[in-house]
């Protein structure tokens, strides 16, 4: 299973979730705190190339809006 994983920074609980999801499939992690507009465009490109089965975002902040919108349309 392919998973897009969006988060802001890497706290211990986020790192644990990332490790658990790695056991379930192939995870493409994105740290939204480090991402600019070009990075989000790259994430869109990856999403359409790899066709992930799951979108996982930590918290419902602005960083989660764009990936959620993308998932809704795919």
Mean pLDDT over 5-24 rounds to: 89
**Torsions phi, psi for 30 (to 5 deg):** -135, 125
Rounded to whole angstroms, the Cα distance separating 73 from 31 reads: 22
Name the band, by pLDDT with cuts 50, 70 and 90, for residue 74.
Answer: low
Sign of CA dihedral 65, 31, 49, 3: negative
- Residue 34 tokens read as 């480090």
The pTM for the full model equals: 0.74
As a whole number of angstroms, the distance between CA 21 and CA 38 comes to 26
């Amino acid at each position: 299973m392919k998973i897009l994983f969006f988060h802001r920074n890497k706290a211990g609980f986020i790192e644990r979730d990332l490790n658990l999801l790695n056991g379930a499939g192939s995870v493409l992690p994105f740290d939204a705190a480090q991402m600019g507009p070009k990075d989000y465009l790259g994430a869109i490109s990856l999403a359409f190339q790899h066709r992930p089965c799951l979108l996982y975002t930590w918290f419902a902040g602005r960083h989660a809006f764009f990936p959620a919108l993308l998932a809704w349309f795919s």
